[in-house]
Amino acid sequence: MSRIKDIIEAFQEADYQETLAMLLDYSEVLPEIPDEYVEARNAGYNRVTECETPVFIWVDVKEGKVKIYADAPAESPTVRGFVSLLVDAFDGATPKEIEDAPSYLINSLGLDRKLGTRRMFGLSAVYNRIKNDVKHATQMS
Amino acid sequence: MKEYAHPEVLVNTDWAAAHVDDPKVRIIESDEDVLLYDVGHIEGAVKVDWQTDLQDQLIRDYVNRDKFEKLMSEKGISNDTTAVFYGDRNNWWACYAFWVFKLFGHEKCLIINGGRQKWVEEGRPLTKEVKEYPKTDYQVSGTDESIRAFRDDVTVHMGSGKPLIDVRSPKEYSGELLHMEAYPQEGALRGGHIPGAANVPWATAANENGTFKSADELRSIYMESKGLKTDDEVIAYCRIGERSSHTWFVLTYLLGFERTRNYDGSWTEWGNLVRVPIERP
């Protein structure tokens, strides 16, 4: 079973408070981006512009595995938590696993129902960015 | 803050720090980010979430009276408690919660000028401890619908040429954007604005540090530039009625407008209605 399926299962079983707690935990464990990306981030490169919160994502596919680095501000813990969840789910996955991941991940996780749909638009954009980048990188190679 | 029409509704961060233990006061954090309170908040503060606590999850409306009373009871808020709001993004959501509390007729409501941003920038402490308060017997004594406009009210208002303030971004106002980018579910089928509405983006009223602009600056923005008068009936709207609650607060309390209403249906209602008039520049 892929990592994303485990995560979806855990979120589907969680109630409102548990969902918040899991996202909060995720927001605290997002790995730092490597030093060489800090300058690019500060210059505004690789930003997911559709998301109101400044989210930065670098996606690469090497030797059949997806590598993801991402950054989101600590002042936006929901977005940061979700970005961290995506890194947990997809960093090290195969492009096929990402292609097969649900189109409407937010709904699969139940976040729209629990946190309200109005909060979810930016998050969808971040997820779609990863999916598209992986698709693009796979087609190029 | 003295020059504002109702300076008594604003407190500063010093005041908030001095009242964290005051049993007559309940400090309430309302943020756009549902997790921000959990990361750390002012000591003793409770969280009220604009969406999961204040809005009905089925019907597009606010929670009913019973649910509001239950919420107040759980947060340890009595009818005579002074509710002191603060939050992220220039107190955008704090003003929204303030407005909803006023809808339910809660009498004593204050805003911490500068909100969360100012508190944090001043290096004041945040805690993760969620304080529990004894339940109260809160009773909604009467709702105040005079601060809320429904679409039929807006139609009449527009027809009689009374002022409307559209507080969205200029691109949303002009109709260039049908929704905020990548926010298709919050969109409308038509772009533009309600005929006759003037555009004053909501954040124009805030300083960079999250505090409200001075009374003189606010008068210049709303009264001198847009020709509004304090005895005008004004309706403010945005996309879903949250940004416009900030403008409603500014007009009502800081400038002393006596008859300002917030149209919470806003563009996500108006821009989807059949046969309502729409204007594009």
Residue-wise pLDDT for B141-180, tens only, equals 899 999 999 999 999 999 999 999 999 989 889 998 776 5
Report strand pairing: B10-11 vs B109-112: parallel
Structure tokens at A140: 């190029």
Q: Would the pLDDT of B106 be above 80?
A: yes
Q: What is the pLDDT of residue B177?
A: 77
Q: Report how far residue A77's alpha carbon sits from residue A81's, in angstroms, rounded to the nearest whole number.
A: 6
Average pLDDT over residues B171-192: 75
Distance CA B18, CA B20 (A): 6
Q: What integer pLDDT is reported at residue B184 of this predicted model?
A: 54
3-state secondary structure of B266: helix
pLDDT at B187 over 80: no
Q: Are A110 and A12 in contact (CB under 8 A)?
A: yes
pLDDT confidence bin for A117, thresholds 50/70/90? low
Residue in chain B nearest A117 by alpha carbon: B185
Chain A hits for B52, Cβ within 8 Å: 16, 114-116
B192 pLDDT exceeds 70? Answer: yes
Compute φ and ψ for A57, nearest 5 degrees: -135, 135
Q: Which of A20, A81, A125 sits opposite B182 (nearest CB)?
A: A125
Q: Which one has a higher pLDDT value, A115 or A84?
A: A84
Give catalytic residues of B, as residue numbers.
Answer: 238
Reduced to 3 states (helix: H, G, I; strand: E, B; else coil), residue B172 is helix
Query: Of residues B42 and B186, which shows the higher confidence score?
Result: B42
Q: What is the pLDDT of residue A114?
A: 83
pTM for the whole structure: 0.91
In angstroms, the separation between the Cα of residue A15 and the nearest Cα of chain B is: 13
Overall average pLDDT of the B176-200 stretch? 79
Is residue A141 pLDDT above 80, yes or no? no
The token pair that represents B131 in the structure block:
């304080």
Q: Strands B82-86 and B10-11, how do they pair?
A: unpaired
Q: Do B55 and A116 touch (CB under 8 A)?
A: yes
Residue of chain A whose Cα is closest to the Cα of B183: A121
Instruction: Name the percent of chain B lying above pLDDT 70.
Output: 96
C-alpha closest to that of B54 among B36, B75, B37? B75
Q: Is the pLDDT of residue A38 over 70?
A: yes
Round the average pLDDT of chain B to a whole number and report it.
94
Q: Flag if B52 and A116 touch (Cβ within 8 Å).
A: yes
pLDDT over 90, % of chain B: 88
Supply the pLDDT for residue B244: 97
Residue B15 has, within 13 A of its CA and on its CB side, a CA count of: 18
Selection from A69, A64, A120 nearest residue A97 by Cα: A64
Q: Which tens digits make up the pLDDT trace of B43-101?
A: 999 999 998 899 998 999 999 999 999 999 999 999 999 999 999 989 999 999 999 99
pLDDT at B176: 87
Per the prediction, chain A carries an average pLDDT of 91
> Are the beta carbons of A78 and B33 separated by less than 8 Å?
yes
End-to-end CA distance of chain A: 26
Question: How does pLDDT run across B118-139, given as a tens digit for each residue?
Answer: 999 999 999 999 999 999 999 9
Q: Is the predicted pLDDT of residue B14 greater than 60, yes or no?
A: yes
Contact A82, A105 (CB under 8 A): no
- Res. B183 pLDDT band, cuts 50 70 90: low
Question: Do the strands B164-166 and B109-112 form a parallel or antiparallel pair, or are they unpaired?
Answer: unpaired
Q: Which residues contact A65 (CB under 8 A, 6 or more apart)?
A: A92, A93, A94
pLDDT-derived band at B189, boundaries 50, 70, 90: confident
Return the pLDDT at A120: 77
Using CA atoms, how far apart are residues A138 and A61, in angstroms rounded to an integer?
7
Lookup result for tokens 């009689």: B160
* CA–CA dist B281, B275 (Å, integer): 19
Chain B neighbors of A20, CB-CB under 8 A: 34-35, 38
Encoded tokens for A137: 């990188």
